[in-house]
Structure 1
Amino acid sequence: MSDLIKVTQCDVEDAHANCEQEAIYRDLISEARYQRDPETGKILRPWRFEVVQGFFKQSDESTDELSFDLVKENFGLALSSWTALKNKLDELNLNRNPHESYKLLICARHGQGYHNQAVSIFGIEEWNNHWSHCTGTTLPDGREIVWGPDPMLTPLGEKQADELNRAWRRQIEEGAPIPTRYFSSPFTRSCMTLVRTWKGISICEENEDQDTLLSSKRHLPIITENLRETIGSHLCDKRSSKEIIAQRFSRFGFTFERGFEEEDIYYRDDWRESLSEQSLRADAFLQDVFENYPDDIYISSTSHAGEIRAIITALGHRKFAIPTAGTIPIVIKGTRIQKDSIA
């Protein structure tokens, strides 16, 4: 297993927690399915999603998440080659019905942040009960660590993202597709992981030569609130202002989704979002991808363990633990409800 990117028992427990929330989510999504925009009258959630089996090992129930090695196992590719994957995905889209679409969504978790380091130091129980409500601390050796709000990547987290960059370069040499659309959580740890993962492949600073990119085109990541980590209570999950995010990442081409507020209007000290509520957010993200980016087949999203768990719940994918800087690629079939397409 990779020395830098490896699953812990804590990751596994986190991925399999809150099972009762899945049934609650199914009730919530059933209620939300036919809600309409009050201004346009259009259905807000016209797409239904399902996982297409056979493309990646992570969707196979026989794959052991504790021993699975993301880097050595070609990101979980279950087909004979990336060329075979691209051909099969092209074939599915070529033969699809007019109201269907197939996409590969590459869900990446950020590298280790200082909040993750704090959990490893204090343990999950002390973290949840006390430290998650603090901004940081001074360790016995005199080192000061800060994790809230909006923590940075640790040096290990940076190395993990760089390891992802090297891994993707190797896979691209073997024919892996380069995403044509990039989305990120608004948190610094996710944005920086995206930068380091795809730098020199499809991301560069505005003053750098775009012709040197493997994609031969500079891509502009979109920051979206629906990819943020579980909202509320934990100070590490309160974002920076829009101005600060822009100062940090606009030079890498990051843009904001329409309506992105200057300050974090969602965070509350006295409330923590449930998995069922977060899964509704994840579904809203998927709705946006399938409704507004029909020509993009290969999608990259960089977010968090809780958000990936919510995407997995929204898709009905098997539970699968994602380590810091881990990645889970999922081939998704979206079906647009035909009677709703003429709202």
Structure 2
Amino acid sequence: MEFVALPGYFSSFEKENSPALDSTLVDHNVLVNHDDWKILYDSIPQDTENTQYKLLLLARHGQGYHNYSMEKYGVKLWDDYWSLLEGDEGGSWLDSRLTDLGKQQVSETGRTVLVPIVDQLGFLPHIFFNSPMRRCLETFAFSWNHVFTKYPELVTDSTIVTNNVIENLRENLGSHTCDKRVNHSEAVAEYQNFKTKSGHTVAWKYEENYSEPDALWKADHRETPDEMDIRTRTGLEQLFSQASSKDKFLSLTCHEGVINSVLRNLEHPGVKKLQTGKTVAVVVKVTTTL
């Protein structure tokens, strides 16, 4: 399977050989050749026998307690000392949850980004994907809640929203405890059948034989960018394999590191300094070998 981003849809990849953008200075999600999302969607090439085209919406989680703590202590102290612990007097950042600010950030994204996209398209993503980390589970629920509230009729199974968890599409592994997953049973007890304010139930669909303890994270090795890109590629293969030909609009709620790695795998220009709660949209060409 091969996948590559296509230029000409968003300001983050306006044309071939576009440079990386600083997302704190430039709006990287501006539609560059289309008046609205429906026109953009309709312009995406039609699938062929062994090629599919997807609109992929990548969302970074809102501020977690680890993000707050990194700002509090500074990057050097965080990397050298605090990140190796599980928390401080203010709380735990092991598999960090969202802060109150983080919940506000993703709620704002739901209202100002996701709702307008669905307004224009007239439908939800055909399939949802998620990192297994708690901050990402919360981000999905608190952001998409606004869409489900406004458009309950668009939820295929009237009250249940299924989201597919992909273990490989999680943040940079190793040493930093904020990136260590809690036991599967703990996450399931806390988040499975999560009730949104819209009245919908989020059903998290995990991979078969999903590991109870975190089998990927190691205390003594921080994953290199090259190692992460290999893992992310595996995750993307899983994601695109799970999406049928009818699943053209895909949503992935994950992390800054994952988004950066996804963009590298897709040969897409970098979107630097992506802030918590923000999104990146990409049109992807997926080629399978017959």
Pick the structure with more strand per residue.
Answer: 2
Pairing partner for 1:110 from 61, 65, 69: 61
Aligned length: 272
Structure number with larger C-alpha Rg? 1
Aligned to 1:83: 38
Aligned to 2:23: 65
Pairing partner for 2:142 from 178, 188, 196: 196
Aligned to 1:268: 218
Structure 1 distance, partners of 2:117, 2:99, is 26
The answer to whether residue 136 in structure 2 is matched with residue 212 in structure 1 is no
The answer to whether residue 228 in structure 2 is matched with residue 282 in structure 1 is no
Aligned to 1:44: none
Pairing partner for 1:246 from 188, 199, 212: 188
Structure 2 distance, partners of 1:186, 1:292, is 16
Q: Which runs of 5+ in 2 are unaligned?
A: 194-201
Shift of 1:213: 4.7
Q: Which amino acid aligns with 2:179?
A: D
Shift of 1:224: 1.4
Q: Which amino acid aligns with 2:240?
A: F
* Residues 150, 188 of structure 1: 8 Å contact kept: yes
Q: Which moved more, 1:48-57 or 1:210-219?
A: 210-219
From the superposition, tell whether residues 213 and 200 of structure 1 become closer, same or farther in structure 2 (CA, over 3 Å).
Answer: farther
SS of match in other structure, 1:190: helix
Aligned to 2:101: 156
Q: Which amino acid aligns with 1:169?
A: V
From the superposition, tell whether residues 132 and 172 of structure 1 become closer, same or farther in structure 2 (CA, over 3 Å).
Answer: same
Shift of 1:336: 1.4
State TM-score, norm by structure 1. 0.75
Shift of 1:232: 0.7
* Residues 168, 231 of structure 2: 8 Å contact kept: yes
Pairing partner for 2:260 from 302, 305, 309: 309
* Residues 181, 219 of structure 1: 8 Å contact kept: no
For the aligned residues, what is the CA RMSD?
A: 2.0
Q: Which amino acid aligns with 2:111?
A: R
Structure 2 distance, partners of 1:283, 1:76, is 26
The answer to whether residue 116 in structure 2 is matched with residue 174 in structure 1 is no
* Residues 115, 146 of structure 2: 8 Å contact kept: no
Shift of 1:59: 1.6
Shift of 1:291: 2.4
SS of match in other structure, 1:103: strand
Aligned to 1:130: 81
Structure 1 distance, partners of 2:212, 2:109, is 31
State TM-score, norm by structure 2. 0.87
Aligned to 1:333: 285
SS of match in other structure, 1:220: strand
Shift of 1:64: 4.9
* Residues 226, 285 of structure 1: 8 Å contact kept: yes
Deviation per CA, 1:197-233: give whole Å up to 9, x if none: 111535x9xxxxx983544544201111111111110
Q: Which runs of 5+ in 1 are unaligned?
A: 1-46, 139-143, 205-209
